[in-house]
Amino acid sequence: MGAYILRRLLLMIPTMLGIMAISFAVVQFAPGGPVERVIAQLSGQGGDALDRLSGGGGDMNQGNSFDSPSGSKYRGAQGLDPEFIASLEKQFGFDKPPLERFGQMLWNYMRFDFGTSYFRDISVLDLIKEKMPVSISLGLWLTFLSYSISIPLGIRKALKDGSRFDTWTSAVIIVAYAVPSFLFAILLVVLFAGGSFFDLFPLRGITSDNFDQLSLVGKITDYLWHMALPVTALVLSAFATTTLLTKNSFLEEIRKQYVTTARAKGLNERQVLYGHVFRNAMLIVIAGFPGAFISAFFTGSLLIETIFSLDGLGLLGYQSILNRDYPVVFATLFIFSLVGLFVSLLSDLTYTWIDPRIDFERRDV
């Protein structure tokens, strides 16, 4: 197993290199860029853009829309001092060739130096740490609750296949799967967050303004009170796929010959189910865990963060793309890709824990 883990870790290097290289190349051809954004701000907002730039400089070595910034004609730059344009390019790091910027970015990322945000007076790492509590809360609660509901429900549906219980729960699951989480979120807001009916839950943040003054029990209650609606909206849409996957996987295993043999030997249904069927049926469920785990932290919660005014990583990444804040964009991409690869490795190791018969060292990576 040690050799397999080492091979997987070594394969992460070219994988990360490919992800960053493709993303960097795409950015080179994307319309607009930080320099054009500043020019647009200067044209529309006067000196306010200069105030935003006062702390956003530094050695930024991410991508740009132009391959030769110093000789490019930016839209809206007519009448501006060429020396000012050149200073902007230097401040954003675009006075260097793309390959040099890419190489410098990789070198910085190897040392976990993600630079400073273009338009905020804060380092990218500090900015991510600032938004992390929201994403951790949503991601962990979503993963825990969705799997806690899906696995027992899927097993129950497999055991009661074709029954009335299986029929009406399937109807609920189909509706939950068909309706996007943000529609559930809007419905919950209308019903329980001061929309048209009840005003029972808050609609902003994960804690109250007086959180620090509360007792331990009060802090826990306040936190759960704030997280109730967004987590509910996410879980309603997330548990459907895993439930059906669990049910189908258990049905397939229950119908196999080894189950009939186990019953013939005198084992009761609980021993057959959890002693033989469970570890085989759960393998395919575990295979989907890394994707669900990562999406819960980022893409899966973007709209929920917007609706409930939760300032997390999903909203941060989206706003950074709109604002062409490339240090934040590339840093979040790098971190989530790296975490995704490690979680994928962890899921493979979990395979061997559930079923020791699996031996990855005898297979090609």
Tell me: do 141 and 286 sit in the same domain.
yes
How many C-beta atoms lie closer than 10 Å to residue 151's C-beta? 20
209 versus 171: the higher-pLDDT residue is 171
pLDDT at 17: 92
What token pair was written down for 196? 């048209």
- Cα gap 1→356, rounded to integer Å: 11
Q: At which of 120, 138, 168 does a domain end?
A: 120
Does residue 50 carry a pLDDT above 60? no
pTM flag (> 0.75): no
Structural domains counted in the chain: 2
Tally the C-alpha atoms within 13 A of residue 192's C-alpha that lie toward its C-beta.
Answer: 16
Tell me: do 231 and 310 sit in the same domain.
yes
Q: At which of 120, 140, 159 does a domain end?
A: 120
% of the chain at pLDDT higher than 70: 78
CATH assignment of the domain containing 193: 1.10.3720.10
Tell me: do 266 and 228 sit in the same domain.
yes
Cβ-proximal residues to 60 (8 Å cutoff; 6+ apart), any chain: 91, 92, 93, 115, 116, 118, 326, 327
Least reliable range by pLDDT among 1-5, 210-214, 233-237, 285-289: 285-289
Does residue 191 carry a pLDDT above 60? yes
pLDDT at 111: 86
Distances (CA, A) of 355 to 12, 78, 249, 358: 25, 67, 15, 6
Tell me: do 167 and 306 sit in the same domain.
yes
Mean pLDDT for the chain? 77
pLDDT in tens, 194-210: 767 778 888 888 888 88
Does residue 38 carry a pLDDT above 60? yes
Tell me: do 199 and 304 sit in the same domain.
yes
* Domain range enclosing 164: 126-324
Tell me: do 22 and 171 sit in the same domain.
no
Q: Is residue 332 part of a domain?
A: no
Q: Is residue 19 part of a domain?
A: yes
Tell me: do 155 and 297 sit in the same domain.
yes
Amino acid symbol at 218: G
Distances (CA, A) of 90 to 34, 70, 279, 324, 331: 12, 9, 58, 16, 20
Q: Is residue 347 part of a domain?
A: no
Our CA angle for 45, 66, 115, nearest 5°, is 70
Amino acid symbol at 130: E
Tell me: do 249 and 171 sit in the same domain.
yes
Tell me: do 134 and 273 sit in the same domain.
yes
How many C-beta atoms lie closer than 10 Å to residue 184's C-beta? 20
In the beta sheet, which residues pair with residue 116?
123
Q: What is the mean pLDDT of residues 302-322?
A: 81
Q: At which of 100, 120, 140 does a domain end?
A: 120
Q: Is residue 363 part of a domain?
A: no
Tell me: do 116 and 229 sit in the same domain.
no
Q: How confident is the model at residue 329 (pLDDT cuts 50, 70, 90)?
A: confident
Tell me: do 131 and 273 sit in the same domain.
yes
pLDDT in tens, 129-147: 888 888 888 888 888 888 8
Does residue 71 carry a pLDDT above 60? no
Tell me: do 251 and 162 sit in the same domain.
yes
Q: What is the mean pLDDT of residues 199-226?
A: 86
pLDDT in tens, 90-102: 777 777 788 888 8
